[in-house]
Chains A and B, each alone.
Chain A
Amino acid sequence: MRSSLAESQRTFEESDEIDFVIVGSGAAGGVLAAELAGAGFDVVVLEQGPWRTARDFDHDEVGHWIMGDLTGDPRQDPQTFRSDPSDEAQIASAPPPLIYARGVGGSSVHFTANYWRLRPLDFRERSLLGEIPGTGFADWPLTYEELEPYYSKAEWEIGVSGAPGPFDPPRSRPYPMPPLPVKSSGVLFEQGARALGWHPQPAPMAILSEEYDGRPPCMHCGYCMGFGCEVDAKSSTLASMIPRAVATGRCEVRPDSTVIRVEVDGAGRATGVIYLDADGREHRRTARAVVLAANGAETPRLLLMSESSRFPDGLANGSGLVGKYLMFNGQTASHGVFEHPLNEYKSVQVTRILLDFYESDPARGFYGGGGMDARMFNGPLFFALGGLPPGVPTWGEEFRRALPDYFSRTMEVAGHTTSLPLETNRVTLDPEITDRWGRPAIRTTYRDHPDDLAMMQFFVDRGEEILDAAGASQVWSDPVGPQTIGAHLLGTCRMGDDPEASVVDRHHRSHEVRNLFICDGSSMVTSGRGQPTLTIQALAFRAAEHMAGFASTGEL
């Protein structure tokens, strides 16, 4: 499990002076590393997980979903969860409440690769719609227009397949590649949605439909969501940005390096980080600036763990908002059975989406919006666990015979919704439970806002309508209820101009520690409509430009 890139990369001694140390090599960290090293700075990336290559990946559902092959062994890296602040958080079994992959490339390795832009309205919904009492609903400190060039840059640098849709925001460049071939779920979704007068469109995916940048196109293996790509066709940062960062000769990526503390000097400036190597030995990595890209779960844990007499509530937490306003996006699932085989087990998860219900509509009576997609339910293991229609036996001979019969003929329509930022939805340090390194476990408190649940129900209803209109012989949905697991970890160190109401400024610079930058899912101010990663990466391209600017003008 050693990347050949790892063998050939530039390495730095602990005594070497470097410009940036980046914590985390995921969706954001990979971009930051390539951009900063590309701009001529010396960069060290510390990543707590291993450096896998495409050859290390496999299709084992038990290993991935139950035993935590990519997300971490739940026995060694436990997380705790509660729905309400008054409850005692319980240790959750696999999969963990906050799902993310550990390893070079981070969660971009196992993500589904839905790759949507936000729209102009997402950045100023608070101004457009007004206050929502009891929530931290706010405008972003930047506009779509400011971020647009970086959206285009991300699509071209990362490698995205797609085609324009009827509701797309303005774009300065077309998609670099045509969409992936449509699956049967996409064909049926299109038929159903069109019959209802709606506007389905090809799904933008961070997956190659053609050879691109020296990487081969998708071979449609069908084990995509939750798995690493065995041919590097999924545009994870492991496949796209990390090789570029290393090729500059100015970036070292250190896997198996777990950062446990950000260090600050007497003047309140960050001096570097303390990290543990694979054997648990402590090291210090000093740098001119520290960049946290450890995701919406781990970035707040690290800041809270870096408390000191000067920063008693955690580093960079003068606002008290570190860890708060966690947003998952609501996820819904409706299922349908059709007459002929769809064979959804082949190819990528999603090939068609629908954005007719993106904006909040006062006529619905609650805040919220989102998008829908047509997808495969999940792999063979999950189908046996819970993929059959209600009423079909769940064990015994009839069950055994139903598996092949239904597996080929079912599909899912998923809904992805807004999540309102609530102070009570947050990441804190568990007071008792610790992980293999003695770090306090991530304790999550989360309960969806009633409007988010209403929006989820709205999509369940629309999903069933589409499946009915497409001619499904049987349609059913998962009941809507408060979510206890999130794969989108957003908002826990939000951006903003006001130091009282945000953790970082519009340049991802901590309001309090001026050479500490935070750029990952935690930066998001509102949740968007369900596919955050393109925005996270566009923000990283933009942030890197600002960081490079500060570094060159002596403003670190």
Chain B
Amino acid sequence: MDRSLAPDVSVASSAPPPSRREFLTRSMRLAGGGWLSLHLPLLASLSACAREDALNGEPLRFFNADEGRTLEALVTRLIPSVDGIGAREAGAVHFIDRGLADFFAADAPFFRAGLAELMEIGFADLPEAEQIRHLQGIEEKPFFGFARALTIFGTFSDPRHGGGRGDAIHRIYGMDPGPGFMPPFGWYDAQQIAAASSGEVR
């Protein structure tokens, strides 16, 4: 098979696990599943025409309304809302919807197939506890790892990609608002500054 074609998931997931390196691969590997080893396509431009289907009134590009609802339930379980902010409020669904129509187009059939399995069991309408139990059962599957990575991308991306809404990054992490900061930055350097100014020599 031409290596430039869309990923064959069974091949991808049996490929040797990517090994670690500086700060990225590690995280990507932990991101789960065979996502890292899924190949990106060379030619992937699915026409991004807006569809009739909508989620919360916002049109979807890739998913139909039923898929959108299932995806919303999925991202809500992966990063639930606490203090009013989680994956759903950040617009992760819209990030994934746009992404699969564009940057992640090569992975779209794979993702859609995984979503279809959730729709078959009526995932969106299950009680929360059952949704969680079901996800625990598929945690090791590549689809789950990919869905988790996409949900995280969608929650912590820049809003220009459709996600990261409602200042999600700062609110979820409780970060001080930027763009810049001045020392002291944290408790330990503050202690050191205080000790220095009170004449103590460390």
Contacts and interface: CB of A to CB of B under 8 A. Distances in A.
B185 A347 contact: yes
Given A384-B156, A433-B4, A220 B149 contact: no
A182 B189 contact: yes
B77 interface: yes
Given A395-B148, A484-B25, A184 B82 contact: no
A380 B175 contact: yes
A189 to B, nearest CB: 10
Contact of B188 (A333, A340, A487): A340
B119 interface: no
A90 B153 contact: no
Interface string B168-202: 01001111101111110111110110000000000
Nearest to A182: B189
Interface stretch (B34-42, B61-69, B109-117): B34-42
B2 to A, nearest CB: 8
Contacts of B37: 90, 93
Nearest to A62: B157
Interface in A395-420: 395-397, 399-401, 403-404, 407-408, 414
A395 B135 contact: yes
Interface string B102-139: 01001000000000000000000000000010010000
B84 to A, nearest CB: 12
Contacts of B163: 62
Interface residues of B, number: 70
B86 to A, nearest CB: 6
Nearest to B23: A378
Interface of B: 2-4, 15, 18-32, 35-44, 77-82, 86, 103, 106, 132, 135, 148-149, 152-153, 155-158, 160-161, 163, 169, 172-176, 178-183, 185-189, 191-192
B22 A485 contact: yes
B30 A480 contact: no
Interface of A: 58-63, 65-67, 74-76, 78, 80, 88, 90-95, 181-184, 186-188, 219-222, 225, 230, 331, 333, 338, 340-347, 377-378, 380-387, 394-397, 399-401, 403-404, 407-408, 414, 432-433, 478-487
A394 B42 contact: no
Contacts of B161: 60, 62-63
28 contacts: A59-B178, A66-B153, A78-B42, A183-B186, A184-B188, A187-B188, A187-B191, A219-B179, A230-B179, A333-B26, A338-B188, A340-B186, A340-B187, A342-B185, A344-B186, A377-B23, A378-B23, A378-B24, A384-B156, A386-B28, A386-B30, A386-B31, A394-B32, A395-B135, A400-B80, A400-B172, A407-B173, A485-B22
B60 to A, nearest CB: 19
A434 to B, nearest CB: 8
A486 B15 CA distance: 20
B156 A401 contact: no
